[in-house]
Amino acid sequence: MRLFLSLLSCLFIFNSYSQQLVLPGDHPDPSVVKIGNEYWGVGTTSNWFPAFPLYHSTDLVNWKGAGHVFTKMPTWADYYLWAPEITYENGKVYLYYTGHKKGGNLCVAVAVADKPEGPYTDLGPLMCQDDGSIDAFPMRDEHGKLYLIWKEDGNSIGKPTPIWAAEIKEDRTALVGEKKELFRGDVPWERGLVEGVSIIKQNDYFFAFYAAAACCGKSCTYGTGIARAKSLLGPWEKYPGNPVLSANAEWKCPGHGTPVKKNGRYYFLYHAYSTNSGAYGGRQGLLNEFEFTADGWVRFLNGSNYGKVKATEKNEDDFSNQTLTGNWHWSIFQQVQYKIANNTLQLQALPSIAGAYIGQSVIASDYTAEVTVQKNTTSQAGLALIGDDKNILSAIVDSNTIRLVQVRKGETQVLAEEKIKQPSNISLKAQVKNNTQVTFMYSADGAQFNVLNNTAADISYLPPWDRAVRIGLVSKGPLEKAAFFKNFVLVNEGSSSGENIVQKRN
Task: Report pTM.
Answer: 0.92
Confidence category of residue 70, pLDDT binned at 50, 70, 90 = very high
Q: Give me the domains of the chain, ranges plus CATH numbers.
A: 28-245 (2.115.10.20), 314-502 (2.60.120.200)
pLDDT of residue 18: 57
Catalytic residue among 195, 289, 366, 466: 195
Asked which of 43-47, 390-394, 499-503 is least confident by mean pLDDT, the reply is 499-503
pLDDT at residue 10 is higher than 80:
no
Query: pLDDT category, 505, cuts 50, 70, 90?
Result: very low
Q: What does the mean pLDDT of the chain come to?
A: 92
Contact 295, 11 (CB under 8 A): yes
Report the number of secondary-structure helices (H) and strands (E) in the chain.
1, 41
User: Is 29 a catalytic site residue?
Assistant: yes
pLDDT digits (tens, 9 = 90+) for 86-115: 999 999 999 999 999 999 999 999 999 999
pLDDT digits (tens, 9 = 90+) for 215-247: 999 999 999 999 999 999 999 999 999 999 999
pLDDT digits (tens, 9 = 90+) for 411-438: 999 999 999 987 789 999 999 999 999 9
> Is residue 454 scored above 60 in pLDDT?
yes
Instruction: Give the residue among 40, 493, 11, 17 at the shortest CA–CA distance from 300.
Output: 17
- Residue 358's pLDDT band, with cuts at 50, 70 and 90, is very high
Determine which one of 29, 190, 289, 388 is catalytic.
29
Give me the torsion for CA of 275, 276, 280, 286, rounded to 10°.
Answer: -60
In this predicted model, what pLDDT tens digit does every residue of 458-498 receive, in sequence order? Answer: 999 999 999 999 999 999 999 999 999 999 999 987 433 33
Q: How far apart are CA 96 and CA 175, in angstroms?
A: 13
Kindly state the helix (H) or strand (E) to which residue 80 belongs, with its residue range.
strand 77-89
Cβ(489)–Cβ(316) under 8 Å? yes
From the list 119, 156, 116, the residue with the least C-alpha distance to 135 is 156
* CA distance readout (Å), 198 to 190, 210, 228, 272: 17, 7, 12, 17
Known active-site residue 291: no
Q: What would the DSSP string read from start to end of 430-442?
A: EEEETTTEEEEEE
Overall average pLDDT of the 371-396 stretch: 98
Rounded percentage of the chain residues whose pLDDT exceeds 90: 86
pLDDT digits (tens, 9 = 90+) for 113-168: 999 999 999 999 999 999 999 999 999 999 999 999 999 999 999 999 999 999 99
pLDDT reported for residue 447: 87
Q: With pLDDT > 70 as the criterion, what percentage of the chain qualifies?
A: 93
